[in-house]
Structure 1
Amino acid sequence: MFELIRRDGLARTGKLSTPHGILETPALLPVVNPKLSTVPPRELYDIFGFKAIITNSYIIRSDEKLKERALNEGLHQMLDYPSVIMTDSGTFQSHMYGEVEVKNEDIVNFQREIGSDIGTVLDIFTEPEWSEDKTSHAVDVTIDRTGEAAKLKGDMLLAGVVQGSIYQNLRENCAKRMALLDVDVHPIGGVVPLMEQYRFSDLVNVIISSKKGLDPSRPVHLFGAGHPMVFALAALLGCDMFDSASYAKFARTDRFMFPEGTAGLQDMKGLHCNCPACSGHSYDEITKMKPAERTALIARHNLWASKCEIERVKRAILEGDIWELAERRCRAHPALLSALRTLEKHKDFLEQYEPLSRDNSLLYTGIETLNRPSFLRYSKRFFSRYEYPASEALVVFEDSTGKPYHRYREGEINKISEKYDAHFMVHTPFGPVPIELDEIYPIAQSLFPDPEDMETKEYSRAQMEHMSHKHPYALTMMWDENSTLDALDMMCQETPKFDMDRARVKAVSDYQFGTGAGNAFLDGEVSIIKSKSTGKIRNVLLNGQHILSMRANDGFFTLRPEGAHILMKTFPAPKLRVVVNDDAIPFNREGKNVFCSFVEDCDKDIKLMDEIMVVDSSDNLIAIGRAMMIREEMLSFQTGIAVKVREGIKEA
């Protein structure tokens, strides 16, 4: 069973339960050749801290001495490794050397008998150059074999491999069919040639098309991905596990692995590495080592580099900056940068998993940042949910480094609002930002370079052009100090009526919950309580009832019980709701979190970190909190938190 612990979009940390304990993800499984161990498995566990390895059951079975030892001693004792061991089936050997002489049934049974924690089906390795028809047939065979293996696995976890070559339709179809079978881990197979040929754009398409069809409650293993330069990108796309023998293969040809790429010893002018393997050795010392000694040192360097990068990726997921890390890593090589740009084609899919906000600011690292789902999310919600205030004129300010914008432009706004009925917009890298939305994520929590590059200017200009066809104002002008005031003086006739605080409550509510929420929250006697130190809205009361609190970190609202009741009257079920079964209701009313196994249904449009209502089957309010998963995940996972409950609602 796999439990999701923390996530940033598709990227996630989790815990996979295995016969030899819990494997925390993201995890790298070093490949151990049972005949040629460059670094002993025990050292991988004791010194490097790898909690899982992968070895090849086909090689073990094909060697009579190894086969006898594995059957008599068990795989873990034979390798002297106390933690999780995954075994491959011989599929890669068939890719390299031709069809292997083993049946699927036999190799699955053998893996189970020797005590493998995670066994693998003998799937068909689909080559990138194969025709679609040949690939489709291979996928069918893989599915049939996986169904057969699922009946044989016993207590062993089973890896059902997603194949389909570079055909995205076949990958998604294979993934959907695989998700219906009784398997526990989903490797994405057949991708080693893509990585060897630096076809990282194709790799992105393969991963995303596979993710679209897979059961989200099962970890995804990217077979053969063992170079630290790809970990961040693959994790960003939802891969949980990695493996590779590259650390040893590269070492045999004197190649050092780094997050930014590979460096051959003969091409290096020096070695400036502080990893435990290299520390204390000079470049000259390493070049003069005997080949076996040098191979052992470089293999250990490669393992340390890989281990450190996996830990860095994990930290990025926990801290909410996996996008920044992936963008920086992808700039290390043009092929990776092409892969990063390929994400633009998939941003609608990625936006489904985009959280409402993050703890960290959005940092612009280059033009590819414009393709992040945060930009798409803002554009979609602004143009579909925002309602322009009924003012006489619109004044547009150019973006500046001062945030929030209303504070930076306070003097100009006050000067205009004293005499004219005007509304205010800011021309930003995100496009048009109403002054009352200037505190929400990612508007206020973003940093861009100055001056802007041409691509950012073009994106912003296109968004502003789109807005120009949507807004209702007869009079619109860019702020140009006295000339703007003169124009307003000549053309404006109405009395000033723009109320920034009420406009903020309405705009943020509509953006966060949906069009109509703002009007519902303002329908009555409204009291807005503001911080004496910052001047920001803290609480909103309607008819004396506390309905909303505004969060200082991201500018969004936290729901109070009375506010939740208003939303339930405004929006019919299932909008913004998570339905729980009767067994969970007493616990959720006490303020305990909602766990996935108790979720009956959920609004399909709920996004990560959305404020939601927990209800029973009769749509009675049980609790309020924040969604930690989207609908497909809540209904797929058997463990883990679906909703972090902030407050339970006592039964009336």
Structure 2
Amino acid sequence: MSLSFELLATDGLARRGRIATAHGTVETPAFMPVGTAGTVKAMMPQSVAETGAEIVLGNTYHLMLRPGAERVAALGGLHKFMNWPRAILTDSGGFQVMSLKELRKIDRDGVTFRSPIDGIQHRLTPERSIQIQHLLDADITMSFDECTPWPVEKEDAARSMRLSMDWAGRGKHAFVDRPGYGLFGIVQGSTFPDLREESAKALTAIGFDGYAVGGLAVGEGQELMFQTLETTVPLLPADRPRYLMGVGRPSDIVGAVRRGIDMFDCVMPTRAGRTAQAFTRRGELNLRNARHRDDPRPIDERCGCPACRHHSRAYLHHLIRSEEILGPMLLTWHNLHYYQDIMRGLRAAIETQSFGHWIAAFEQEQGRGDLPPL
């Protein structure tokens, strides 16, 4: 009776599906806006929903430090706390903890680290990570893992992966199975095909509601990332959702869907919006550039977001140059809307068996570049 996944259509390796959670359905392929600390930066919850997002991502590490998982639980859970009634996936906190370097110490049982906020020491184990995510009331809980760095020697990648597989088994044992809730395992092994295979076999033997591919988009480049997906994804159960963590740019997402991935998350569209960058059908724009200061056209004439429907490039350029907070807000909304447009297009193309034509049109339009200056 846990979280369920229905495969509705395929076109080549690309998949069109539906995930049923305790807080609603998620149509796949799906992009999850990142709401690390209980908020998608520069966006109201209803604004996130208006882009078409059906699920957002929260983070165990950040929420355990502030305001605290027990406090969130006492206040009704993360859905109520952040006013997001739809599905939530929580990252286990492994990536953030591993990035602390001098502030953390890892052993077979878990990780001890000092909070960069107040210096207080914390202990995060696979069981504690699962418990925190339960307190947050995450619809989709992620296994606690060690995110393998890049570049990495094969021996170190193997040690890291096997530790994560041990933690995955412990996390599965600690997970409380409830209707509409699920636990995902995370495939590790860097870019080594045999290690990825070993990891996938270990996870499928344990048994999870979904499977994530972790340890990519960490510097290996798109070509090697795609090669790793090509060897890894076929090893994962076809009747479970597949999630590529921390990816990415539009071309990354489209290429990964082409290789059988169903779910994505990335800070890129929101971070770009806060730094004057806009993603469009014709590529990326920098609204800080002077070429936009007299341009009455929208960012993207085919976009239905508020920034494109109501404001000119000239106005957005003015907001950015004047350091007005409305500028990052509008650009973030635009970027998230465009990412959801991509997902809507992908789903429709797979349903109608026109995925190849959709990709060709997408790549052609992206290659055209921005409109010439007026």
TM bucket normalised to smaller: 0.7 to 0.9
Tell me by how many angstroms 1:67 deviates.
4.6
Q: Does the CA contact (< 8 Å) of 1:248 and 1:299 recur in 2? A: yes
> Residues 418-451 of structure 1: CA distance to partner in whole angstroms, max 9, x if unpaired?
xxxxxxxxxxxxxxxxxxxxxxxxxxxxxxxxxx
The match for 1:321 among 348, 354, 360 is 354
Answer yes or no: is 1:54 the counterpart of 2:63: no
Cα–Cα, structure 1 residues 260 and 67, in superposed 2: closer, same or farther, change >3 Å? farther
Cα–Cα, structure 1 residues 71 and 259, in superposed 2: closer, same or farther, change >3 Å? farther
Cα–Cα, structure 1 residues 328 and 191, in superposed 2: closer, same or farther, change >3 Å? farther
> Who is 2:194 aligned against?
169
Query: For 2:37, what is the secondary structure of its paired residue?
Result: coil
> Residues 387-444 of structure 1: CA distance to partner in whole angstroms, max 9, x if unpaired?
xxxxxxxxxxxxxxxxxxxxxxxxxxxxxxxxxxxxxxxxxxxxxxxxxxxxxxxxxx
Aligned equivalents of 1:60, 1:224: Cα separation in 2: 18
Tell me by how many angstroms 1:240 deviates.
0.4
> Residues 355-386 of structure 1: CA distance to partner in whole angstroms, max 9, x if unpaired?
xxxxxxxxxxxxxxxxxxxxxxxxxxxxxxxx
Q: How many residues align?
A: 330
Query: For 1:161, what is the secondary structure of its paired residue?
Result: strand
Give runs of aligned pairs for residues 483-502 of structure 1, distance below 5 A: none
Give runs of aligned pairs for residues 606-621 of structure 1, distance below 5 A: none
Provide the alpha-carbon RMSD of the alignment. Answer: 2.1
The match for 2:328 among 291, 295, 301 is 295
> Who is 2:338 aligned against?
305
TM-score by length of 2: 0.82
> Residues 479-529 of structure 1: CA distance to partner in whole angstroms, max 9, x if unpaired?
xxxxxxxxxxxxxxxxxxxxxxxxxxxxxxxxxxxxxxxxxxxxxxxxxxx
> Who is 2:108 aligned against?
none
Query: Structure 1 vs Structure 2: percent identity of aligned residues?
Result: 25
> Who is 2:316 aligned against?
286
> Residues 1-39 of structure 1: CA distance to partner in whole angstroms, max 9, x if unpaired?
211111112111112222223222111111113266321
Aligned equivalents of 1:5, 1:97: Cα separation in 2: 41
> Who is 1:183 aligned against?
208
Give runs of aligned pairs for residues 76-91 of structure 1, distance below 5 A: 76-91=79-94
The match for 1:273 among 277, 288, 300 is 300
Give runs of aligned pairs for residues 68-107 of structure 1, distance below 5 A: 68-98=71-101, 99=104, 101=113, 102-107=124-129
Structure of larger gyration radius? 1
Aligned equivalents of 1:13, 1:308: Cα separation in 2: 15
Aligned equivalents of 2:241, 2:135: Cα separation in 1: 24
Matched letter for residue 182 of structure 1 = G
Aligned equivalents of 1:149, 1:137: Cα separation in 2: 18
Consecutive unaligned residues in structure 1, runs of 5 or more: 335-652
Cα–Cα, structure 1 residues 15 and 76, in superposed 2: closer, same or farther, change >3 Å? same
Residues 148-157 or 291-300, more deviating: 148-157
Matched letter for residue 16 of structure 2 = T
Matched letter for residue 255 of structure 2 = L
Matched letter for residue 286 of structure 1 = L
Tell me by how many angstroms 1:298 deviates.
0.4
Query: For 1:285, what is the secondary structure of its paired residue?
Result: helix
Aligned equivalents of 2:76, 2:274: Cα separation in 1: 31
The match for 2:147 among 116, 125, 140 is 125
Matched letter for residue 311 of structure 2 = H
Cα–Cα, structure 1 residues 203 and 324, in superposed 2: closer, same or farther, change >3 Å? farther
Which structure has more RCO (C-alpha within 8 Å, separation ≥ 6)?
Answer: 2
Give runs of aligned pairs for residues 221-240 of structure 1, distance below 5 A: 221-240=243-262
> Residues 590-644 of structure 1: CA distance to partner in whole angstroms, max 9, x if unpaired?
xxxxxxxxxxxxxxxxxxxxxxxxxxxxxxxxxxxxxxxxxxxxxxxxxxxxxxx
TM-score by length of 1: 0.48
